[in-house]
Amino acid sequence: MKRLPQLWSICILAILAFKPYDHKNHSPSSFEDGWVELINGKDFTGWKASENAATWSVTDGSFQAVGKRSHLFYEGEHLEDGFKNFELEVVVKTSKLANTGIYFHTEYQETGWPTKGMEIQVNNTHIGEGDYIELKKTASLYGVRNLYKAFGKDGEWMTLKARVENSRVQVWLNGMKTVDYRQPEKTFAAVKRLSKGTFSLQGHDTLSKMQYKSFRVRRLPDNAHSNLTATAWGAWHDSLVVLQGRQIPFIDLNPKTALSAKELADYFYATGINVALVKTAAAAGELIAAKNRPLFTGIKVNAANQATAPSAGADYIVGESIDLTSAQTLLGGNKINIWAHKGKALNSEMAKGLLDMAKRNNIAIEINNLASSPSIEIIKMAKAKGCKFTFAGLVPASAMQQSTYVMAAIKEANLTYKNFYIPGW
């Protein structure tokens, strides 16, 4: 009889240990049994560097990378047959212009960028090398769910968390969810798929300096699943995935919708289309709803009220015009970043002068998916003048189901990712 309380304690602990994780009732920062720290703060025990191993050092108790490309792969005692489903918490700090990443479901390779697995991007201010411009920011699921706005800061410790279960990947940056990707049953061959494997930390280039202070992981059962499936969006989303693979930034910076900030964030999670919360100058205070959400913020003005737009508090200002006079007033007002024209003034006769004004004042031209405007002819003319572009009419999903004009514009005007305006660049 004396052993009964002990047996009950063992049973209770066993039940708790195998209790399914309820993401609705637990913070991603809550720790329960099963977490292990893979960085000991003293040496590289359990880790193996690829090419240019001298890039890595243990500095102030952290893994530090400064030097030529090298990837640090985990091959320690906790690897076993690889990680499939897991929770992850990584504490990292970057210096200005640094680019790094956290790979999972990967495997050791001696040279090059890891060809297996997926990457959680870590990049706040890195701009690319040579002719390549790197647009994807910290807490993106690289190439699968790209985040084009920087929410992390160099010189500060950032906490990245991830939860991978079956066909779902969630990522958080300092408590803000940035990714909620549900892998479709079928994807293009070029799109990496979830599998199983180890972890890797990236030393990217000689200008990239970063430190990893902590790398904690907890296994989840191999049969763990979220009971959520990917939405079947249709052919337009397949085209979006292909073009996104060519770095085309699909961002709706002037969504014509009444969706709330939460609904806009959910749309981004589901589709991979970055979106913005946009308010009038009079309602600029309502942009606070975007706080702790992966959204751009914009202020919408017209020719009559552009002077009332605050100089701070939003990522950009978009000006809407309806005729030639209002277009000229907006383009010459030194206030807006994006020009959205709704009238007929932007025709072949008037376009040259208006586009010259846009280029001279570094104002991007909005391509409206639903309105199919401006024409391909005008887009080609604007491109030839060196103008940048943005998208509108990508929200909600019904807008993309009704029209794929933006796809046609990219193809027929031969637009590349360098032809697009992204706030903050």
Tokens, residue 181: 């990707």
Q: Token match 């998208």: residue?
A: 391
Question: Phi, psi at residue 299, to the nearest 5°?
Answer: -120, 135
Residue 13 has pLDDT above 70, yes or no: no
Q: CA distances (Å), 79 to each of 32, 121, 223, 302, 326, in order?
A: 19, 22, 18, 58, 63
CA separation for the pair 232, 336 (Å, rounded): 37
Residue 28 has pLDDT above 80, yes or no: no
Classify strands 251-252 and 99-106 as parallel, antiparallel or unpaired. unpaired
Tokens, residue 21: 């994780």
For 198-209, the pLDDT digits (tens) are 999 999 999 999
Where does residue 306 rank: exposed (0-12), middle (13-18), buried (19+ CB within 10 A)?
A: buried
23 vs 396, more confident: 396
CA separation for the pair 135, 282 (Å, rounded): 32
Please name the helix (run of DSSP H) or strand (run of DSSP E) that holds residue 353, with its range, or none: helix 348-360
For 178-187, the pLDDT digits (tens) are 999 999 988 8
Q: In this structure, what is the dihedral angle of CA atoms 171, 298, 360, 136, given to the nearest 10 degrees?
A: 0
Strand partners, 129: none
For 76-128, the pLDDT digits (tens) are 999 999 999 999 999 999 999 999 999 999 999 999 999 999 999 999 999 99
The residue among 387, 377, 386, 390 whose CA lies nearest residue 347 is 377
CA separation for the pair 281, 299 (Å, rounded): 6
Averaged pLDDT, 347-366: 92
Q: CA distances (Å), 377 to each of 319, 384, 404, 409, in order?
A: 22, 11, 17, 10
Q: Token match 């491109």: residue?
A: 383
Longest dimension (CA), the chain: 97
CA separation for the pair 303, 301 (Å, rounded): 7
For 282-306, the pLDDT digits (tens) are 999 999 999 999 999 999 999 999 9
Q: CA distances (Å), 317 to each of 39, 301, 306, in order?
A: 44, 7, 9
- For the ranges 16-25, 80-89, 193-202, which has the lowest average pLDDT? 16-25
Q: In this structure, what is the dihedral angle of CA atoms 399, 405, 407, 413, given to the nearest 10 degrees?
A: -150
**Who's near 392: CB < 8 A, 6+ residues apart?**
252, 253, 254, 255, 256, 340, 366, 367, 368, 369, 370
DSSP state of 54: G
Q: How confident is the model at residue 345 (pLDDT cuts 50, 70, 90)?
A: low
Residue 391 has pLDDT above 80, yes or no: yes
Please name the helix (run of DSSP H) or strand (run of DSSP E) that holds residue 328, with its range, or none: helix 324-331
- For the chain, domains (ranges, CATH) are 32-219 (2.60.120.560), 235-419 (3.20.20.140)
Where does residue 423 rank: exposed (0-12), middle (13-18), buried (19+ CB within 10 A)?
A: buried
Tokens, residue 410: 């990219």
Q: How confident is the model at residue 160 (pLDDT cuts 50, 70, 90)?
A: very high
pLDDT over 90, % of the chain: 82
**Helix, strand or coil, per DSSP, at residue 73:** strand
